[in-house]
Amino acid sequence: MKEILQVKSNRTKAYSIERKQAKWGLLFTVPCLVFFSIFSFYPIINAFITSLTNKQALSRTSKFVGFDNYAYLFAQNDTANGGFTLWNSLRATLTFTIGTFIPMVVISLLVAVLLMSLRKDRQRGFLQVAYYLPAVLSSVVATAIWMIMFDPRGLVNQLSNVVMMTTGKDYKWLVDTNMLQASTMLVYFWKYIGYFVILFITGLAAIPPTIYEAATVDGSSRWHTFWRITLPLLKPTVVLVSIMAMLQCLKTFSTQYMFTQGGASRKPIDVITMNIYFTGIRNGRLGRASAMSIILFLVMLLFTYLQFSTSKTDDVEY
Amino acid sequence: MKKAIVILLALMMLAPMAFANAQAEEAKPVTIEFWTHEDANRQRLEERYIKEFCETHPNVTINVTRQAATKMIELVQTAFAAGQGPTVFNLSINDEYPYIVAGRVAPINYAAAGYKDAQAVIDAYAPGMLESVTYEGDVYGLPLELTNWCLFINKNVFRSAGLDPETDYPKTWEEVVEVSQKLVLRDGDILTRRGFDFRYPYYLESMVPMVEQLGGQLFSEDGKEAIVGKDAWVKFFEFMQNWGPNGLNLGSPTYKNARSLFNANNNDIAMAMTGLYQEARIKNDNPDFYNSGDWMVVPFPTFENAVNDTAACYYGHYYMVNGDVDEATQKVAWEFISYMLSHGEEYLKEVNIIQPTVALMNSETYKNTPYSAVFSQDFERGHIVYYGANSTEIQSLLKETVAAVMLEGLEPEKAYNQLKAAVQELVDEVN
Q: How far is CA B37 from the centre of its chain?
A: 11
Band of pLDDT at residue B19, cut at 50, 70 and 90: very low
Q: How far is B26 from chain A (nearest CA, A)?
A: 30
> How confident is the model at residue B20, as a pLDDT?
46
Q: What is the pLDDT of residues B81-92, one digit of tens each?
A: 889 999 999 999
CA–CA dist A177, A172 (Å, integer): 9
DSSP annotation of A37 reads I
B134-135 vs B217-219, strand pairing mode: unpaired
B88-92 vs B315-322, strand pairing mode: antiparallel
pLDDT, mean of residues B193-208: 94
pLDDT, mean of residues B214-235: 96
Which residue, among A158, A170, A288, would best test binding to B if mutated, counting the most B CBs under 10 Å from its CB?
A170
| Rg of chain B in Å (alpha carbons) | 25
Give the residue, B4 or A69, on which the prediction is more confident.
A69
> How confident is the model at residue A117, as a pLDDT?
86
Confirm if B310 and B236 have CB atoms less than 8 A apart.
no
Q: How many CB pairs under 8 A join A and B?
A: 109
> CA dist B413 to A27, A267, B234, B326, B419, Å?
65, 18, 6, 51, 10
pLDDT, mean of residues B281-300: 96
Band of pLDDT at residue A313, cut at 50, 70 and 90: low
Q: How far is B303 from chain A (nearest CA, A)?
A: 25
> How confident is the model at residue B389, as a pLDDT?
83
Nearest residue to B205 via CA among B148, B259, B130 = B148
Please give the CATH topology (third level) of the domain spanning A52-311.
MetI-like fold (1.10.3720)
Asked if the Cβ–Cβ distance from A281 to B190 is below 8 Å, we say no
Q: What is the pLDDT of residues A206-251, one digit of tens each?
A: 999 899 899 989 898 888 999 999 999 998 899 889 998 999 999 9
Task: Report ipTM for this prediction.
Answer: 0.83
Asked if the Cβ–Cβ distance from A172 to B245 is below 8 Å, we say yes
- Find all residues with CB under 8 Å of A290, minimum gap 6, and list them: A47, A48, A50, A51, A55, A69, A280
CA–CA dist B369, B351 (Å, integer): 11
Band of pLDDT at residue A79, cut at 50, 70 and 90: confident
DSSP annotation of B302 reads B
Confirm if A105 and A246 have CB atoms less than 8 A apart.
no
> How confident is the model at residue A191, as a pLDDT?
93
Asked if the Cβ–Cβ distance from B393 to A283 is below 8 Å, we say yes
Confirm if B54 and B64 have CB atoms less than 8 A apart.
no
Q: What is the pLDDT of residues B405-415, one digit of tens each?
A: 999 999 999 99
Residue A138 has pLDDT above 70, yes or no: yes
Nearest residue to B143 via CA among B157, B132, B159, B158 = B132
> How confident is the model at residue B188, as a pLDDT?
93
Domain ranges, ordered by start, for chain A? 52-311
Domains (ranges, CATH) in chain B?
29-147+315-380 (3.40.190.10), 150-312+389-430 (3.40.190.10)
Considering only CB atoms, which chain A residues are within 8 Å of B200?
263
Considering only CB atoms, which chain B residues are within 8 Å of A80?
421-422, 425
Which residue, among A162, A265, A281, would best test binding to B if mutated, counting the most B CBs under 10 Å from its CB?
A265
> How confident is the model at residue B215, as a pLDDT?
97
Long-range contacts of A155-158 (CB under 8 A, 24+ apart): A157/B190
> How confident is the model at residue B227, as a pLDDT?
97
Please report, rounded to a whole number, the percentage of residues in chain A having pLDDT higher than 70.
Answer: 93
Residue B9 has pLDDT above 70, yes or no: no
